[in-house]
A and B are shown apart, each in its own frame.
Chain A
Amino acid sequence: MSVLPDLRDLYQQIIIEHNRAPRNFRALPGASHTAEGNNPLCGDRITLELQVEDGVIRDIGFQGRGCAISQAAASLMTTAVKGKPVAQADTLFHAFHDMLMSGTDGPADPAVLGKLAAFGGVRAFPARVKCASLPWHTLRAALEQRPKPVTTESPNE
């Protein structure tokens, strides 16, 4: 018998709040890096734009629409990586990814993840993991300057 997942673990206050008032929700004219994320089955869409100078993410903006999880994940991601070196953003990507992919009893390390640890509750809702990971995979595509839109929907969902 598994413990019933609690909706409040998924929809934590910080997630609700960032969904209601997303940070860095804007276009970034003259962006150096950009990528599109698209989960067509879901309808979640994100356009991510970055200004990267000397290996540092000077500015970042996102636009798009989607569920609370994807919108809050994008918003919190932008606040987490803005002003940080690209290498540190990459570390955060891996830490976030490892958290989502670990079982429900795996650690969500607040020391590395900070506020992003709030997404640990998503693990108990496997159908929603793709919503939280979409902005992060889009960030990675932007930094690697991959032109093809990113998706986190796999056929076996």
Chain B
Amino acid sequence: MSRTGLLDTARVRGDFPILAREVRGRRLVYLDNAATTQKPRQVLAAILEYYHTTNANVHRGAYDLAVRATSAYEAARGRVARFVNAWAPEAVVFTRGTTEAINLVAGSYGRAAVRSGDTVVVTALDHHSNLIPWQLLCQAQGATLRMVEVTPDGRIDLSDFGAALERRPKIVAFPYVSNALGTVTPAAQLSRLAHAAGAVVVVDGAQSTPHLRVDVQQLDCDFYALSGHKMLAPMGSGALVAKPALLEAMPPYHGGGEMISRVWDDHATWNQIPHKFEAGTPNVEAAVGLAAAIDYLEAIGLERVAEHEQALARLAIDRLSGIDGVTVYGPADHRAGVVAFNYGDVHPHDLATILDHDGVCVRAGHHCTQPLMRRLNVAATARASFYVYNDVDDIDALAGAVVKAGAIFGQVPA
């Protein structure tokens, strides 16, 4: 460890083939991990191994290969369940990611539970994927969507959260970690308050699951959505983790094979949970890759992952704040490895182009959080987000490229 809290990144980086690539003769500085992460050899090998040795359709073949494919798929389910301390393996429904998981909750639980005149609560910190499904639900059911305000430094406004709960909402949805600002919300406390008001709690875990130790039973949420591709696993992997009693009571979401028990001409009965919610051939490769990614992260330890990212974020905030004209958004503490910033009048897209020229990949835009951007009174921000393979050199490259952008745009003070 070169500095307190940092991982042995030289060793970690060796596991990620893409990081050996050069961009315009420079090393690839990948700082867009909140969008998606790179994949280690171990995950790629697990997927290859699955296709080399195990591939068959799951839950239907009588032959040995199909039994082994089913075992691999169900073992991955168990791995996800242990990783987030789910209530049971059948509490884990595999999905394409967080977005599909939240749409499942809105489309199944929401359609059954929310009626005309009811209220659904979301927050201004939410990603569009934890907003649009609720907008669609409320529009379809004639319900009211109530958005909880944020504080100027990008935390959920707890007094407004309390005010929203006075409406006795049926559903309260919020993120555990903000993708745009890195804010870590007091999810267990929010969950407790929402339950006391009689609501069911939906937590968007897309940005928390990769970066800190998650325990859904300790959070005591009802639904928890996660994406694999943001935690070293393949795109198209993800899960809805839900209290089994709720899943039992919910109507199906998609219809098709696998999710049925008995089928007559004009009706059918449903398979047990979680299969009731997994219509069609699942993405077994993604599940196997997700399990391998969890193994990789657990070998490091989620506590050390969190410590590493927070150390990098502190360093990045320190370096960027030292550049005259740079504004860093988000709270001073309770934040994950995400740093959103702007530089004077330089538009974030121009900033991203100039950074890219030095091989530094950052996101520029509204980060799928337009209501939040409106409240911060910005059209867009640049965002650097860190993961296990980022190091101090990456922060140096980021800060150096930002200074270069200032020179091009005449931001550097005379």
Q: Does A111 contact B (CB under 8 A)?
A: no
In the complex, the answer to whether A43 meets B366 with C-beta atoms within 8 Å is: yes
User: Is the Cβ of B349 less than 8 Å from the Cβ of A42?
Assistant: yes
Q: Does B357 contact A (CB under 8 A)?
A: yes
A43-B365, A65-B379 are contacts. A11–B24 as well, Cβ < 8 Å? no
Residues of B within 8 A of A67 (CB): 347-350
Contact mask B373-394 → A, CB, 8 Å, 1/0? 0000001100000000000000
Among A24-32, A100-108, A125-133, A137-145, the one that faces the other chain is A125-133
State the Cβ distance, B130 to closest chain A Cβ, in Å. 19
A10-B353 contact given A66-B347, A68-B347, CB 8 Å threshold = yes
> Least Cβ distance of A39 to chain B in Å?
10
Distance A11 CA – B346 CA, assembled complex (angstroms): 12
B380 contacts across to A, CB distance below 8 A = 42-43
B136 interface hit (Cβ, 8 Å): no
User: With an 8 A cutoff between CB atoms, is B193 at the interface?
Assistant: no
* CB atoms of A4 and B379 under 8 A apart: no
- Nearest chain B CB to A93 CB, angstrom units: 23
Beta-carbon nearest neighbor of B349 in chain A: A67
Category for how many chain B residues contact A: 10 to 19
Q: Contact partner of A125 among B25, B345, B353, CB < 8 A?
A: B353
> By the criterion CB–CB under 8 Å, are A11 and B408 in contact?
yes
Residues of B within 8 A of A11 (CB): 350, 354, 408-409
User: Is B410 engaged at the interface, CB distance under 8 Å to the other chain?
Assistant: yes
Contact call B25/A4, Cβ cutoff below 8 A: yes
B364 shortest CB reach to chain A, Å: 8
Bound together, the chains give a CA A69 to CA B349 distance in angstroms of: 9
Instruction: Enumerate chain A residues within 8 angstroms of B366, measured Cβ to Cβ.
Output: 43
Chain B residue nearest to A6 (CB atoms) is B357
Most buried by B among A68, A125, A128: A68
Point out the residues of chain A lying under 8 angstroms from B349, CB to CB.
42-44, 66-67, 69, 128, 131
What residues on B are CB-neighbors of A20 within 8 Å?
A: 345, 410
Smallest Cβ distance from A20 to chain B, in angstroms?
8
B401 to chain A, nearest CB (A): 10
How would residues 35 to 53 of chain A score, 1 for a CB under 8 Å from any chain B CB and 0 otherwise?
Answer: 0000001111000000000
Q: How far does the alpha carbon of A125 sit from the alpha carbon of B354 in the complex, in Å?
A: 11
User: Is A16 in contact with chain B by the CB < 8 A criterion?
Assistant: yes
Which residues of B in the span 341-366 have a Cβ within 8 Å of any Cβ on A?
345-350, 353-354, 357, 365-366
- Determine whether A7 belongs to the interface, using a CB cutoff of 8 Å to chain B: yes
Given contacts A4-B25, A16-B408, A67-B347, contact A127 B353 (CB under 8 A): yes
Q: How far is the CB of B168 from chain A (nearest CB, A)?
A: 35
CB distance from A128 to the nearest CB of B (A): 6
How far does the Cβ of A75 sit from chain B's closest Cβ, in whole Å? 14
Q: Which residues of B contact A44 (CB under 8 A)?
A: 349
- Complex: how many Å from CA A7 to CA B345? 18
Interface residues of B in 392-414 (CB under 8 A from A): 408-410
Nearest-CB residue, chain A, relative to B407 = A7
Q: Is the CB of B350 within 8 A of A41?
A: no
Cβ of A4 and Cβ of B24 under 8 Å apart?
A: yes
Q: How far is the CA of A69 from the CA of B352 in the complex (A)?
A: 13
Chain A proximity of B157: nearest CB distance (Å): 25
Q: Contact between B25 and A68 (Cβ–Cβ < 8 Å)? A: no
Contact B365 A16 (CB under 8 A): no
B-side contacts of A8, CB under 8 Å: 408
Chain A hits for B346, CB < 8 A: 68
Residue in B350, B365, B409 whose beta carbon sits within 8 Å of that of A69 in the complex = B350
Instruction: Please tell me if the beta carbons of A43 and B410 are within 8 angstroms of each other in the complex.
Output: no
A157 to chain B, nearest CB (A): 13
Cβ-defined contact, A7 with B25, below 8 A:
no
Which single member of A16, A69, A125 contacts B410 (CB below 8 Å)? Answer: A16
How does the 8 Å CB contact mask read for B270-300 relative to A, with 1 for contact and 0 for none? 0000000000000000000000000000000
Identify which of residues 111-150 in chain A touch chain B, using a CB-to-CB cut-off of 8 Å. 125, 127-128, 131
Q: Say yes or no: B357 contacts A7, CB within 8 Å.
A: yes
B409 neighbours in A (Cβ, 8 Å): 11, 16, 68
Residues of B within 8 A of A43 (CB): 349, 365-366, 379-380
- Residue-wise interface mask of A (1-23) relative to B, using a CB-CB cutoff of 8 A (1 in contact, 0 not): 00011011011000010001000
Q: Which residues of B contact A127 (CB under 8 A)?
A: 353
**Contacting residues, chain A, for B365 (C-beta < 8 A):** 41-43
Closest Cβ of chain B to A132, distance in Å, is 12
Q: A7 to chain B: which residues have CB within 8 Å?
A: 353-354, 357, 408
8 examples of A-B residue contacts, CB within 8 angstroms: A5-B357, A8-B408, A11-B350, A11-B354, A11-B408, A16-B410, A42-B365, A68-B346
Apart from A7-B408, A66-B347, A131-B349, 6 more pairs, CB < 8 Å: A16-B408, A20-B345, A44-B349, A68-B346, A127-B353, A128-B353
- Which 9 A-B residue pairings sit nearest by Cβ, starting from the closest? A67-B347, A67-B349, A43-B380, A68-B350, A43-B379, A67-B350, A11-B408, A65-B379, A7-B357
